[in-house]
Amino acid sequence: MVQIAIPFYPFNAFHPWTLTLNTIAFCMILLAGLWFTRRKLRVQEIPGPVDDASWLYGNLPELLLTQPYGKFEFQWQEKYGPVYRFKGCFSEDLLFISDPAAVRYILNDAKSFDFSPNRAFMVSMIFGKDALPALHNGGEAHRRIKNAFSPAFALARLQSCNDLKAVDRLMEQYLERKLSDSNATVDIYHLLQHVTSDIIGEVGFGQKFNAVETNGGDKVVQSHQNVLLLGSRDSKSAILGESIVSHLPRIVLSSMLYLPTPTVRTLHDFRTISEEWAGALLRTCDSTDAGLVGLVGMCIPDYLRLSSPPDFFLANKNKNKELSFDEISQQASSIVVAGQDTTANALVWAIYELAKWPEWQDKVRKEVMEAQGAGTGSDKLEYLNAHIKETLRFHSSVPITERVAFNDTVLPLSRTITTSSGRVITQLPIRKGQMIYVGLASYNRNPHIWGPNASTFDPFRWIDGRYSSESLPGSIGPYSNLASFAGGARICLGWRLALLEMQLVLSEFVSKFRFSFAPGQQNNVVSRFALTLLPVDVESGKPSLSVLVQPIQAHEG
Ligand code: HEM
């Protein structure tokens, strides 16, 4: 055999043994490499702020209870990127995701991701099993009901709704009354809660809730407010309670409804009042000659039909049959709850930012007043709409939504993740049952999307051409690539109404009043996450936003 000498190589390279050993070693390295890259990633390998988490509460108190909201969440995003692991109660590994590609995938793959079955069940205990948030978002019933209700909140229909103007007038009267019987300080938070209750009543159901006029509204409004309070996780024990409840078997959950606790009493009252209210609404539909009014007529055009009508609906039995009585009536309360507080708080933060930036407020006012003179529609107002977009971005009314994976799947990523073992991954495998917090607020503050000043309130970002559809990473939600209204099958039903309300209320407010803070007053307000993003008075710990309000003189603008 010919011997070939290879410098620094101790063996004969072509000896059969050497060749065999080399081949085996090579295959083992190859297999090890393959195993290392292909092996299923364990969620524990995703880095995140888990080391300091308490076993009992995990990172949830930092995430959910910190004031101002987001103090930790936005820091974690900066440190770990838009995908990280954090701890829930009892040290459960949870994922926090605000990566654009992953969020888009989660929201749009309705078959693989939705609320956890227990959460949906709890929602059904509150609103009924046919309410949209209680139905599986990939299911036939959810799609059918959503399709039927969506046109009621379409822009053209909302713009033609004269009742919105009536709410305008009420608002103005309320502020004028307030200003005449007190000094110029007004708690704008409570006013806007009432205004948005009245608007959703008028627009959605042709109902007068009279919340502005009576400073609180009737028992329907009150019971909706009470049920909203139940949902706010405002203490460690509430977080723990919710976590335990979310793991209980259905039978135990249902039997909890018979416990003699104040929470259960509030729920019962809410269900009784809502059912009476929705039933009465539907009855009015039948008793008027003008055809369907109330829920069906005002909110849902003719094509909303009933498949199993109670007696009083028999008059309409020839209409196409698409929705049952329960399917219509159970949306009523869930729409009020989903649409009122969210919009109220978006508006409160919009006023907060106007009061904080007086020169910017003057610009918005000038534009609105000139447009009112010229009869220009709100959609054309650059400054006003920039203010609304920036408010929705910076103060996301719904900062987080939760999803659970219904099967093993793989999430696309916009940016790679380096795992704790040093592996770089371009896709994120998700196991069935994994709980995910989708960071809508974090997405809206992601510097890779919104630039280095993502953490600054800067409405000019919407005016100076910094963003075009090309510069933004594909659409997540329905509006300006913001995640504020979510997307996919669970996209917010009332996002157009919310925008219209914001345009209407803000135009009316800035053209009639000037908002400002007394010295030091703005530092007394922090944000808190309680279902939606609330302004909270630092001293009292209660939701409120006190601002100085001064009427605008006729010659100003
Ligand atoms: C600024 C105001 C609003 C914001 C930021 C907002 C945000 C959202 C978000 C993020 C979701 C998805 C929740 C999730 O997937 O967990 C949602 C769902 C929903 N929103 Fe809104 N919303 C607003 C106003 C409204 C209004 C005015 C209505 C009235 C019609 C409304 C009705 C609903 C309903 C019924 C759902 C449930 C949809 C479903 O489960 O398919 N929202 N909203």
Question: Cα(353)–Cα(348) distance, rounded to whole angstroms?
Answer: 9
Q: What is the pLDDT of residue 232?
A: 66
Work out the pLDDT band at 301, boundaries 50, 70, 90.
very low
Residue 155 has pLDDT above 60, yes or no: yes
Residue 295 is classified by DSSP as I
The dihedral built from the CA positions of residue 55, 56, 60 and 65, taken in this order, carries a sign that is negative
Work out the pLDDT band at 466, boundaries 50, 70, 90.
confident
522 Cβ neighbours under 8 A, 6+ residues apart = 352, 355, 356
pLDDT digits (tens, 9 = 90+) for 28-49: 777 665 555 555 678 999 999 9
Mutation choice for ligand 1 from 164, 390, 493, 534, CB with most ligand atoms inside 8 A: 493
Q: What is the pLDDT of residue 38?
A: 54
Question: Cα(452)–Cα(445) distance, rounded to whole angstroms?
Answer: 10
Q: What is the pLDDT of residue 11?
A: 52
Mutation choice for ligand 1 from 492, 495, 534, CB with most ligand atoms inside 8 A: 492
Q: What is the pLDDT of residue 555?
A: 62
Give the DSSP H or E segment for 534: strand 532-537
Residue 323 is classified by DSSP as B
Q: What is the pLDDT of residue 440?
A: 97
Give ligand 1 pocket residues (Cβ under 6 A). Answer: 132-133, 146, 153, 334-335, 338-339, 342-343, 346, 397-398, 401, 440, 484-486, 490, 492-494, 497-498
Helix locations, 206-249, DSSP H: 211-214, 219-230, 236-247
Structure tokens at 56: 């009992």
First to last CA, the chain: 101
pLDDT digits (tens, 9 = 90+) for 161-183: 655 666 666 667 766 766 665 56
Question: What 3-state DSSP class applies to 451?
Answer: coil
The answer on whether 27 is annotated among ligand-binding residues is no
Question: Cα(464)–Cα(124) distance, rounded to whole angstroms?
Answer: 46
Give the DSSP H or E segment for 370: helix 358-374
Residue 337 has pLDDT above 80, yes or no: yes
Structure tokens at 63: 């995430």
Question: Cα(405)–Cα(116) distance, rounded to whole angstroms?
Answer: 8
Structure tokens at 222: 């009150």
Ligand 1 centroid distance, CA of 154 (Å): 14
Q: What type of residue sits at position 454?
A: A
Cβ atoms of 355 and 361 within 8 Å: the answer is yes
Residue 273 has pLDDT above 80, yes or no: yes
Q: Where are the domains of the chain?
A: 45-551
pLDDT digits (tens, 9 = 90+) for 357-415: 999 999 999 999 998 877 777 778 999 999 999 999 999 999 999 999 999 999 999 99
For domain 45-551, the CATH superfamily is Cytochrome P450 (1.10.630.10)
Ligand 1 atom showing the smallest separation from residue 440 Cα: 10
Structure tokens at 17: 């043994």
Mutation choice for ligand 1 from 342, 391, 404, 440, CB with most ligand atoms inside 8 A: 342
Q: What type of residue sits at position 311?
A: D
